[in-house]
Structure 1
């Protein structure tokens, strides 16, 4: 659910305490992520996020296992938001992807 006004967006974000920065900090601390890019897709209300997460902890894990690891690290935050879309990469995968671009 997207906020209809900037004031409503600020109120929702203030009540949940969830910001792209707080999500990034949690992922860096809990997953040892070396790169995190969080995009608020909800227009600032803090209810819909898309993320690129690069962590050595994703090595030898399936996509599903990576998502479960992220969802476990952000259990409380995910419960408070509307939508969460992570894209998980190992450092090696991320480096290859960056070299192709």
Structure 2
């Protein structure tokens, strides 16, 4: 069963409360999303560390319920 965009956003915001999150369903199938996550808490972190925080927020859903996520992270 695909994961809803709202669920992805909720999980990210729960782990990174100050995040601005934009989710786009790339294929209209609920399996392929793009996410842009902007957070002041990313300041000073490498891109890899920023993206790891987002993937950690999604728990074990990556590669399972959530098939693909094109991820962009940034600071404001």
- Do they superpose with TM above 0.5? yes
Gaps of 5+ in 1: 1-14, 92-101
1:84/1:53 Cα in 2 relative to 1: closer, same or farther (>3 Å)? same
Could you tell me which residue of structure 2 aligns to residue 85 of structure 1? 70
Write 1 or 2 for the structure with the bigger share of helix.
Answer: 1
What is the CA deviation profile of residues 3-46 of structure 1, one whole-angstrom value per residue up to 9, with x for unaligned ones?
A: xxxxxxxxxxxx24x11111111111111143110001121x21
- TM-score after normalising by structure 1: 0.66
**CA RMSD between the two structures:** 1.4
User: Larger Cα Rg: Structure 1 or Structure 2?
Assistant: 1
Write 1 or 2 for the structure with the bigger share of strand.
Answer: 2
1:16-95 to 2 correspondences below 5 Å: 16=2, 18-43=3-28, 45-79=29-63, 80-91=65-76
- TM-score after normalising by structure 2: 0.85
Higher relative contact order (CA 8 A, sep 6+): 2
Q: Retained in 2: the 8 A contact 1:67–1:88?
A: yes
